[in-house]
Structure 1
Amino acid sequence: MIKITEKYNCTGCHACANVCPKECINMESDSEGFLYPGVDLKSCIACGLCEKVCPVSNKKDIDNEPQAFACYSKNEQVRLESSSGGIFTLIAEQIINEGGVVFGVILDKDMTAVHSYAESMEQLKAFRGSKYVQSKIGEAYKIAGNFLKKNRKVLFSGTPCQIAGLKAYLQQEYDNLFCIDIICHGVPSPRAWGKYVSYQESHMGSKVQGANFRHKDKGWNRFSMELEFNNGTRYIQTLDKDLYMQAFLKDACLRPSCHKCSFKTLHRQSDITLADFWGIQKIAPHMDDDKGTSLVFANSGKGKLMLDRLQNLIVSERVDIDKAVCYNPAAFRSAGENPKRGAFFEDIGKLPFDKLAYKYCSESIVITAKRKMTEAAAKVLKKTGLLHAAKKVLK
């Protein structure tokens, strides 16, 4: 029987709940809004499957040699509507065209992030773009497993821990499964997101009907949060001024496991890893037009083959992976824990979201992000022996 004694040991991946033959594990929300497994002891038969599939307790060592690429879609509209370069959409379309099924994250009518699946091009649109809130897997692993057993091609996208959870749940490899994960900063609390949505609805006098966490009205580097309301009004604010983005990027509302992540590594279980290519202006400036460039890791033979199939649809250039991660340290480093995190969640039920954010997330995001990136880049350069050379170039 699975038992969570330290919250940083549970990612909320739902693998245990999906695998339970008696369906006696329910994912229950804690005071911070994160889901953890709760076991109905009366129904439990002590089969041990829940413990067997926990990806944190049974972490796999992956031996691969990922290749890194700078990429973006030649379809300007897809690229504009995507978080970075639009590569996810192109891969998803390949799977749909072959009669497959694509799993990803949508925001439902209540603005809750949930995993769902698409079987048509039209349905894919809801998956496009980042959702900066932890998604609820629900029974997505079970559903994906059923499609795989019917020999349908399945693309499953999610955070690294969600992909690890899927692989652990399946307990075998499938040739018709293709997995995409992301370079994940960390997953914010659904309660914090709900609190923010309620604040905006109260402020605007209308229900939120849509959200875009990465609107590019001010460009890709300085993206905006966009909310659409039922009364036709629209809210849009850049990442350094939006209250929710302040809480997210200041690490005030992340899941405990994100601060001790077991899946931050360059050796991943996914076939493809996608991310924003921060630092592209330094590494391949000719591919930086502030419209969004993806950093892509091809982690497996299937991943490399997929990129080859997309060559006519993308602009792509192979890059040095060590240099790329200098500017993208979240690939291998856990998010730092904000010292005010505990106080943030203690007050989350007491203060409106604006006062909560002003109280605990007042330092400039831009200053904080630049400092973190500089510190991380220096560590990587030192580790790879490039620090001395970098200093000479800067001088």
Structure 2
Amino acid sequence: MINILKKQECSGCYACTNICPKECIRMKSDNEGFWYPDIDKDTCINCELCEKVCPVINNPNKAENKINAYACKNKDNKSRNASSSGGVFSLLCDYVISKNGVVFGVAFDENFNVKHMHAETLEECEKFKGSKYIQSKIGSTYKQAKEFLDNKRIVLFSGTQCQIKGLNLYLRKSYDNLISIDIVCHGVPSPKVFRMYKEILVEKYKSDIKEVRFRDKVNGWKEFSCIAEFKNGKMYSKSAKEDIYMKGFLKDLYLRPSCYECKAKNFLSASDISLADYWGVENIHPEFDDDKGTSLVLVNSRKGEVMFRKISSSMDIIKTNLDYAISCNPCIVGPVKYNPKREQFFSEYNKKNIEKTIQKYTKVTPIQKIKGKIFGILRYINK
């Protein structure tokens, strides 16, 4: 029986609920809005399957393979502009759907809750485009994916590093018809904080939300904007540096406890391909950067290499230096640092206006401003 003693010991991947033969594990939200397994001990048969598939305490088997890194851009500018980075995920979807396959990804539901869902048409895959900076509910999608795999359908399953690690442990064997894609993750913010943020926007704009875009490129890829469109025709638009929700996220203020000690990074998820933003691409491949989005594609397995070749004709590609790419996006191999203000934030966030609470705990001190200016000068000199 799985026993969570510390909240850092659970990534909320749902592998335990999917594997339980008696269906006696439910996921329940805590006061921070994150879900954890709750076991009906009267029904549990102590089969220990839940422990065997937990990505915090286990690692899936994987063949050793050289990891190759590529800077990539979808040649279709319309598709790339609608994506968060270089539009590579859309090409993967196109290929899998063309082979009568199934794509699992993350989408907003009708209430803008973030969930894992599957798609069997290109039209259905549209809902997966764009970043969602909230932890998604896996639900029963591991089970659904296994059913499609056992029925010989090609399955592309995308998720954060811990979710893909959970999937590979849940399956307990290798499937030739599975393509697992992990999205390099900064950490997952509290769904409850996001819900409170949405409520403030709805109140301010006197209308329900029609669409949310966290990574709109209207001001460029590097200075991406957060946009909410409302049913009354109004629009909210701020840069990531100005938007209050993104401020807290980028300061690591309300991430899931396990994110600060993530056990799925450094290629431990056993994914076939890892996708990330290629921050810093302008310094190593200046001719390649147009500020419209560049994907960093890490090919981690032979199966991933085959898939990459299948879609390569639809991309502009440069093979790049893996160590440099990691230096610009260290979340590939390690977790973010714990924000010491996190506990104070969660002790107050229910009592006050969430906007003011985030502002309070993300306020930049004079010393931090000075450090920031020095860092900016040094970075300019290095360039």
Does TM, scored on the shorter chain, surpass 0.5? yes
- Please give the alpha-carbon distance, in whole angstroms, between the structure 2 residues aligned to 1:110 and 1:90: 28
TM-score under structure 2 length normalisation: 0.94
Match of 1:286 in 2: 287
- Please give the alpha-carbon distance, in whole angstroms, between the structure 2 residues aligned to 1:19 and 1:290: 43
8 Å Cα contact 1:68-1:296 kept in structure 2: yes
**Higher mean Cα deviation, 134-143 or 50-59?**
50-59
- Please give the alpha-carbon distance, in whole angstroms, between the structure 1 residues aligned to 2:161 and 2:92: 18
SS in 2 for 1:163: helix
CA shift in 2, pair 1:268/1:13, >3 Å? closer
- Please give the alpha-carbon distance, in whole angstroms, between the structure 2 residues aligned to 1:61 and 1:355: 46
CA shift in 2, pair 1:196/1:82, >3 Å? same
Q: Within 5 Å, which residues of 2 pair with 1:1-395?
A: 1-60=1-60, 62=62, 63-266=64-267, 268-363=269-364, 394=382
Letter paired with 1:53:
V
Deviation at 1:6, TM superposition (A): 0.9
8 Å Cα contact 1:247-1:361 kept in structure 2: yes
8 Å Cα contact 2:60-2:269 kept in structure 1: no
- Please give the alpha-carbon distance, in whole angstroms, between the structure 2 residues aligned to 1:135 and 1:267: 20
- Please give the alpha-carbon distance, in whole angstroms, between the structure 1 residues aligned to 2:43 and 2:81: 50
SS in 2 for 1:226: strand
TM-score under structure 1 length normalisation: 0.92
SS in 1 for 2:156: strand
- Please give the alpha-carbon distance, in whole angstroms, between the structure 1 residues aligned to 2:146 and 2:131: 25
Letter paired with 1:116:
M
Deviation at 1:132, TM superposition (A): 0.5
- Percent of aligned positions that are identical: 46
- Please give the alpha-carbon distance, in whole angstroms, between the structure 2 residues aligned to 1:134 and 1:274: 17
- Please give the alpha-carbon distance, in whole angstroms, between the structure 2 residues aligned to 1:362 and 1:135: 28
Deviation at 1:394, TM superposition (A): 3.8
SS in 2 for 1:174: coil
Deviation at 1:312, TM superposition (A): 1.7
Deviation at 1:319, TM superposition (A): 0.5
**Higher mean Cα deviation, 314-323 or 202-211?**
202-211
Letter paired with 2:81:
L
- Please give the alpha-carbon distance, in whole angstroms, between the structure 2 residues aligned to 1:24 and 1:130: 33
Deviation at 1:59, TM superposition (A): 2.3
8 Å Cα contact 1:183-1:274 kept in structure 2: yes
- Please give the alpha-carbon distance, in whole angstroms, between the structure 1 residues aligned to 2:138 and 2:183: 16
Letter paired with 1:338:
N
**Higher mean Cα deviation, 265-274 or 58-67?**
58-67
- Please give the alpha-carbon distance, in whole angstroms, between the structure 2 residues aligned to 1:68 and 1:268: 17
- Please give the alpha-carbon distance, in whole angstroms, between the structure 2 residues aligned to 1:394 and 1:213: 31
Q: Unaligned regions of 5+ residues in structure 1, if any?
A: 379-389
**Higher mean Cα deviation, 263-272 or 71-80?**
263-272
SS in 2 for 1:264: coil
SS in 1 for 2:212: strand
SS in 2 for 1:93: helix
8 Å Cα contact 2:26-2:39 kept in structure 1: yes
8 Å Cα contact 2:55-2:264 kept in structure 1: no
Taking only aligned residues, the RMSD between alpha carbons, in angstroms, comes to 2.0
Match of 1:385 in 2: none
**Higher mean Cα deviation, 325-334 or 145-154?**
325-334
Count of residues in correspondence between the two structures: 376
Letter paired with 1:177:
L
Deviation at 1:361, TM superposition (A): 1.3
Deviation at 1:353, TM superposition (A): 2.0
Letter paired with 2:330:
P
8 Å Cα contact 2:162-2:269 kept in structure 1: no
- Please give the alpha-carbon distance, in whole angstroms, between the structure 2 residues aligned to 1:352 and 1:115: 30
8 Å Cα contact 1:65-1:267 kept in structure 2: no
- Please give the alpha-carbon distance, in whole angstroms, between the structure 1 residues aligned to 2:201 and 2:349: 15
Match of 1:381 in 2: none
Deviation at 1:267, TM superposition (A): 5.4
- Please give the alpha-carbon distance, in whole angstroms, between the structure 1 residues aligned to 2:182 and 2:309: 19
8 Å Cα contact 2:60-2:169 kept in structure 1: no
8 Å Cα contact 2:212-2:227 kept in structure 1: yes
Letter paired with 1:58:
N
Q: Deviation string for 1:121-174 (max 9, x for gaps)?
A: 101110011110000000000000000010010000000100011111111110
Letter paired with 2:132:
K
Q: Deviation string for 1:202-253 (max 9, x for gaps)?
A: 1111111211110011000000111111212111110000000001000001
SS in 2 for 1:286: coil
Letter paired with 2:53:
V
Deviation at 1:264, TM superposition (A): 1.6
